[in-house]
Structure 1
């Protein structure tokens, strides 16, 4: 009776995650390591982009407060040129177009308004594209990781069944470790995919809010310049 008990005890101790990794086939090991690397990569993107979005929103609040307190647009230009956050870049793009339009002498009011809308729209799209550059990685990891883990599981189970057939022993102590290491690959796939999907959705929501904020600022800035155009026409 001691031998079966010792075998069962040994099998139980061998079901730890690290032991399952060491006992697994080379293909399953590669799958597990790839999924762990993907998980680390996705967390790095989530942390970096979350921090960046938080900083940008705080900078946008400060810049908008400075903008509405400023005595002139020209006085805001130099600080904005030196800044790197999207609100400042949007302001610089709009003011540069405004200056170029006024420098032509004869002013086409509708043409100026159209160009300002286009220029600031492009500036917003460029900033949002830059911030969302790595989100496709999260989407890919979230979509692919479970299937990669499933591939590792299928491969491990096939290997386990082959070993069982060769040994002609179907006791739980023999079957459990092989099945467990195969299922462990699926668990790692889910471990990589779930944070990636949640992070992708949260960052996408944050980008949408930032885009709405930049669009609102662009509309206000456009309205201010439009009023200046109207006052110039009245003179």
Structure 2
């Protein structure tokens, strides 16, 4: 059990913050891809709304999933940090340094803050891109209505 706590103490920040950094990178990559796609999409080229919707919504689920789960990844880091703080307190044998405990607890909370920092832009981008999906679908319907009148 001692080895587990030593491992967690050494690598929790790298694992949690690394995971959040990877999630952030993937989210940004997909957002950039979607922005480029939306700037070039020609709704008139699609025969059915279903084909258009498949192309318009590609990668949006991943962006939403990252936004929804990043706070939980951060919270996991915080819980592990608090667990390590209590473990250290227990190992101290009653010689508890309040300042050291407060520092450890405040450092544990940084994981939650980073998780929220990843989640907020993810959800903002997701909502903005969803609006673009709706606008492009309406453009497709408007184009097809005009075609039927002619």
Contact 1:164 1:174 in 2 (8 A): no
1:139 aligns with 2:64: yes
Moved more, 160-169 or 32-41: 160-169
Residue 181 of structure 1: how far off its partner (Å): 2.4
RMSD value over aligned CA atoms?
A: 1.9
The equivalent residue for 1:179 is 105
The equivalent residue for 1:189 is 115
Residue 153 of structure 1: how far off its partner (Å): 0.5
Q: TM-score, normalised by structure 2?
A: 0.84
Please give the alpha-carbon distance, in whole angstroms, between the structure 1 residues aligned to 2:97 and 2:64: 42
1:65-89 superposed Cα distances (whole Å, 9 cap, x missing partner)? xxxxxxxxxxxxxxxxxxxx332x2
Residue 49 of structure 1: how far off its partner (Å): 1.0
Please give the alpha-carbon distance, in whole angstroms, between the structure 2 residues aligned to 1:149 and 1:169: 30
Matches within 5 A, 1:190-229: 190-224=116-150
Structure 1 unaligned blocks of 5 or more: 1-22, 57-84, 91-119, 225-235
Structure 2 unaligned blocks of 5 or more: 1-7
* Larger of the two Rg values belongs to structure: 1
Please give the alpha-carbon distance, in whole angstroms, between the structure 1 residues aligned to 2:36 and 2:9: 38
How many residues get paired? Answer: 142
Contact 2:9 2:84 in 1 (8 A): no
Contact 1:27 1:152 in 2 (8 A): yes
